[in-house]
Structure 1
Amino acid sequence: MTQEAPSKSVRTRERILDAAAEVLSRKGYAGTRLTDVAEAAGVQAPAIYYYFASRDDLVEEVMWTGAHRVRAHLEEVLAALSADTEPRDRLLVAVEAHLRYELQISAYTTAAVRNAGQVPEHLRERPAAEESAYSRLWRELFRDAQDAGQLRADLDINVFRLLLLGSMNWAVEWWNPRTRSLDDLVRATQDMVRHGTFAHP
């Protein structure tokens, strides 16, 4: 059975969202104007109100989508691993999946991370629920490695998890592909996890 192509309305809405994610990731919440989004999407600015009641509704949808998609991406990456993959190796795979998705694949996730502290509180509620689910996914990864005896006995996995996610998310502010490759960044972050958490004989 062939899948029905999305309607013109659905495609236009998606194009507006894509444009908003790109503008929001570059200019931030305060600097994002609907005229910029409309220009990037190839529509007239008033047309945006057909799909979103306000600028804030559009921003909230971008933020939620970014948080949702990075979680779904990581779940897919982990599900594709072989069943005998060691828990500590799953952690290293998760580090790479997060960084590549955040910095290279999805403007939505870049926008969500970069603007988490900029948007008004009422725009944080729905994205925050997705972020909590994502954090739980990482907590399970660390707990599985700990239960397998693969992490240092003295490691506080909750503190390290928060430090790791915070440092990876902060990379959207300083990482420059012209001065440091993404491969190098992934390796350095994996080394931080490897040497900072793994139990050694």
Structure 2
Amino acid sequence: MAKKLAKSAISQKRVLDAAAKIFRDFGYAGTTMRAIADEADLKAGSIYYHYKSKDELIGAVLDIGVNAVTQRVTEALAALPPEATGRQRVEVAIAAHLSAIIEVGDYTLATRRVAGQVPEAISARNTRLRDSYGAMWQQIMNDAQQRGEFKTTASLTLSRLFILGALNWTVEWYKPGGRSVEQIARDFASFVLDGLSGGAAPLPVELSEAATEPHDNPRPRIRSA
């Protein structure tokens, strides 16, 4: 029984990974269940065993993209000591976000590609997840400002949108073998946070394990969505 469940989970992951690639390349309208089956090297019926429709499948792909990042950042922040500064918390969130979106790059790119194409109900659900994640970022940035670490004249909403937008765009140009994810995260954090803090020197920070170390399974446990 355990082997059967494990095999089913592997098959489901193959379907999801294949779907992310096809949605990434062809968008929502241009994707068919047959194309996903071919990419996954599975029979078409195997896909319907896990997902009843293309709508259900794109919903799962979108959810994985945002949930993977949310989980990584949440874990990274939780691993920090209580005395961590507000700036350190933002630095760690930047590193965690960046490492997560690169690990689930096809899901991130699929999300960008199908924006505005998916049914309203699916889009609305994913928007709620993204808004919740954005609120978490807003809170840690507000905390840093309230501690006097960021300028009071800085628009934190605009800063948050800039940070997340720039980080999400990384999947468009990042190539393994160049600058490491950790180096990119440090440089990006220094560039952005020095401006928010009025040019203060970067504070030393040890990025948490959750932020920088690859996970065997960077995505949360898959559930029907």
TM-score for both structures, normalised by structure 1? 0.84
Gaps of 5+ in 2: 201-225
Match of 2:146 in 1: 147
Match of 2:192 in 1: 193
For structure 1, which segment, 46-55 or 6-15, has the greater mean C-alpha deviation from structure 2 after superposition? 6-15
Match of 2:95, SS state, is: helix
Measured in 1, the distance between the counterparts of 2:83 and 2:112 equals 32
* Structure 1 residues 52-63: aligned runs within 5 Å: 52-63=51-62
- The one-letter code sitting in structure 2 at the alignment partner of 1:20 is A
Q: State the shift of 1:48 in Å.
A: 1.5
Match of 2:27, SS state, is: helix
Match of 1:165 in 2: 164
Q: State the shift of 1:27 in Å.
A: 4.0
- Paired positions, count: 197
Match of 1:189, SS state, is: helix
1:23-44 residue CA offsets vs partner (Å, 9 max, x unmatched): 3334433443323321232311
Measured in 1, the distance between the counterparts of 2:15 and 2:168 equals 25
1:56-99 residue CA offsets vs partner (Å, 9 max, x unmatched): 22111110121112111110111111222111011011111111
Contact 2:95 2:185 survives alignment (8 Å): yes
Q: State the shift of 1:149 in Å.
A: 0.5
Instruction: Flag the 1:151–1:126 CA change in 2: closer, same or farther, 3 A.
Output: same
Match of 1:32 in 2: 31
Measured in 1, the distance between the counterparts of 2:112 and 2:191 equals 21
Q: 2:179 aligned with 1:181, yes or no?
A: yes
Contact 1:62 1:108 survives alignment (8 Å): yes
Instruction: Flag the 1:69–1:104 CA change in 2: closer, same or farther, 3 A.
Output: closer
Measured in 2, the distance between the counterparts of 1:62 and 1:195 equals 35
Measured in 2, the distance between the counterparts of 1:9 and 1:105 equals 21
Gaps of 5+ in 1: none
Match of 1:124, SS state, is: helix
Match of 1:72 in 2: 71
Measured in 1, the distance between the counterparts of 2:195 and 2:86 equals 16
Q: State the shift of 1:143 in Å.
A: 0.8
Measured in 1, the distance between the counterparts of 2:194 and 2:164 equals 17
